[in-house]
Amino acid sequence: MKHPNRVKAAIREGRIAQGYHLNFPSPHVIEILAPFDFDFVWIDGEHGPFGLPELESHCRAAELAGITPIARVPNIQSSTILQYLDCGIQGITGPHISTKADAEQLVRACHFGPLGERSFGGNRGCDYDFELSDKVAYYRQCNDNMLVCALLEDAGALENLDEILTVDGIDYFHIGPNDFSQGLGYPGQPQHPKVLEAIEEITSRVRRGGCRMEGDVMQRIMVKQMLTASARKFLVGEWGGLM
């Protein structure tokens, strides 16, 4: 049966899940960081060079480390999301959610019925269909362990937000500031006052609507930030971690 989703568990427990953002393929990083007992690894399948074999390797490493693999997908087409789920991904971040229809499509693609239309196959994401005598219970367990994030990064999200928030099945929302600033007409200016104002408006409206933003659910650090911070400490003589 499916591994428990540690981020979903954190939501139920009222705590903030801790994890890291991996935007280049390296299951070795997951193994190296296993002793630190992070809750999740967030894999960037939209901007990172992850093929399906690499995704499977990362899912295996995450499961062995006891952490939950989450991925941002390149698009929200059902066929794309299905391939990620079939590899073993247990959390999907759907990019460019700007309408209610987008949000509904994201939810449908991530869940088995009756919540969605995810297809079942005899692959590792479905435990190879091994002795699953009660598929109704199995579908329910998979749905309960599926984490869904809607990434708001287009101007349309601002005007359609009230309708987007009516869609059930989304665990939290996040704003992609770089694409969002471009969508608002301020490319390359995520700190522009108008962009910050719009981000604050969305954040307030999401929370007033009884929904969560990413910061209410998780904290994540980029692996490249870990590497550069350690390199900087080493070069200025502040790190005593030499072997």
List the catalytic residues: 47
Residue 116 is classified by DSSP as -
- Whole-angstrom distance, CA of residue 83 vs CA of residue 67: 20
- Whole-angstrom distance, CA of residue 118 vs CA of residue 125: 12
8 A C-beta contact, residue 67 and residue 47: no
The two three-digit tokens of residue 184, written as one number: 């608002």
- Whole-angstrom distance, CA of residue 74 vs CA of residue 194: 27
- Whole-angstrom distance, CA of residue 111 vs CA of residue 130: 20
- Whole-angstrom distance, CA of residue 190 vs CA of residue 206: 20
Buried/exposed 95-120: b ≥16 CB within 10 Å, e otherwise? bbbbbbebbbbbbbbbbbeebbebeb
Write the single-letter amino acid at 122. G
